[in-house]
Amino acid sequence: MKVVIIEDQIQLRKSLIHQIVEADLGFQVVGEADSVSKGIGVIIQKQPDIVFFDIEIIEGSSFQILDALPKINFKTVFATAHGHFAIKAIKYSAFDFLLKPFRNEELIETLQKLKKEFGQKENYDEKFQLLFNELKGKENKKIAISSLDEIKYVLVNDIIRIEADRSYCEIFLADGTKMTSSKSMKHYELLLPSTNFIKVHRSHIINMNYVDAIIKSNGGFVKLKNQDEIPLSRRKKEEFLTILEQKIME
């Protein structure tokens, strides 16, 4: 989930960024600003999921930013030392209101609520796309890969492997390109056909069509046709060998 922070005090802004990163709940701070004009610009450019607003900032107030935007398609969290703005924040459909100085526990609680809110939507989207793929057939179909800057559609069969990177994923394609997706490993585990894609390790999903060899040394590795070597967990080994045998017999 992409986060933008609008705060005119640099130390408070850096502190909030640090707290969000340290929380490790799947949020990525993609932009920051200290004024009304810069705030409008960064929100339009970055298209965040969540914006943390201080209310009194350079050039005016954050309410001016909200009034100037053509569409508000993100969750708003107000963090301010001025409690009398609470009612006005509510009128602007604030998701939450943090009164400075707030404790780290209060921020974590807000982040957890946000994660739950977005998680419900993501689960619905995943289930819908999963059902759609089942109805249409998954072979040679395209799936959407969401990065921070774009949504790209790629053929399922062009995906060699997926590697988890905290709450994000690196996706390796047959043409040698690598994409960073803002979706979790669980998203692709549900989305991709289990007949071809198997999670061989807690951080790795591979396309069985690209398996080249099994390396027994160092605990076991799967060598792919692009020469990547992926660790094979003991728990997944039996399932992997069963699916591989089926692929060979096809």
- Contact between 75 and 49 under an 8 Å Cβ cutoff? The reply is yes
If asked whether residues 202 and 173 sit together in one domain, one would say: yes
pLDDT at 149: 67
Residue 129 pLDDT > 60, yes or no?
A: no
If asked whether residues 172 and 235 sit together in one domain, one would say: yes
pLDDT at 31: 94
If asked whether residues 12 and 110 sit together in one domain, one would say: yes
Classify residue 123: in a domain, yes or no: no
- 177 dihedral zone (left: phi>0; alpha: psi -120 to 50; beta): beta
The CA distance from 154 to 136, in Å, is: 16
- Contact between 27 and 3 under an 8 Å Cβ cutoff? The reply is yes
Mean pLDDT of 132-138: 48
Domain boundary among 118, 145, 169: 118
| Structure tokens given for 78 | 């107000």
The CA distance from 133 to 27, in Å, is: 28
If asked whether residues 40 and 90 sit together in one domain, one would say: yes
Number of domains observed in the structure of the chain: 2
pLDDT at 135: 44
What are the pLDDT digits (tens) for 111-128?
998 888 776 555 545 554
The CA distance from 37 to 59, in Å, is: 8
Distance of CA 66 to the CA centre of its chain: 25
Domain boundary among 87, 118, 149: 118
- Per-residue pLDDT band at 73 (split at 50, 70, 90): confident
Classify residue 125: in a domain, yes or no: no
Burial of 34 from C-beta contacts in 10 A (0-12 / 13-18 / 19+)? middle
Classify residue 62: in a domain, yes or no: yes
- Per-residue pLDDT band at 84 (split at 50, 70, 90): low
If asked whether residues 31 and 83 sit together in one domain, one would say: yes
Classify residue 18: in a domain, yes or no: yes
Q: What is the CATH number of the domain that holds 69?
A: 3.40.50.2300
If asked whether residues 95 and 191 sit together in one domain, one would say: no
Biggest CA-to-CA distance, the chain: 71
If asked whether residues 154 and 229 sit together in one domain, one would say: yes
If asked whether residues 96 and 174 sit together in one domain, one would say: no
| Structure tokens given for 216 | 């027994």
pLDDT at 90: 65
Which one-letter amino acid corresponds to residue 216? K
If asked whether residues 141 and 220 sit together in one domain, one would say: yes
Looking up tokens 């989930």 gives 1
If asked whether residues 156 and 105 sit together in one domain, one would say: no
What are the pLDDT digits (tens) for 18-36?
999 888 888 999 999 999 9
Domain region containing 68: 2-118
Residue 145 pLDDT > 60, yes or no?
A: yes
The CA distance from 182 to 224, in Å, is: 24
The CA distance from 55 to 132, in Å, is: 43
- Contact between 66 and 58 under an 8 Å Cβ cutoff? The reply is no
What are the pLDDT digits (tens) for 205-239?
999 889 888 887 766 788 999 999 998 887 777 77
Q: What is the CATH number of the domain that holds 143?
A: 2.40.50.1020
Name the least confident of 43-57, 107-121, 164-178: 107-121
The CA distance from 183 to 17, in Å, is: 21
pLDDT at 118: 76
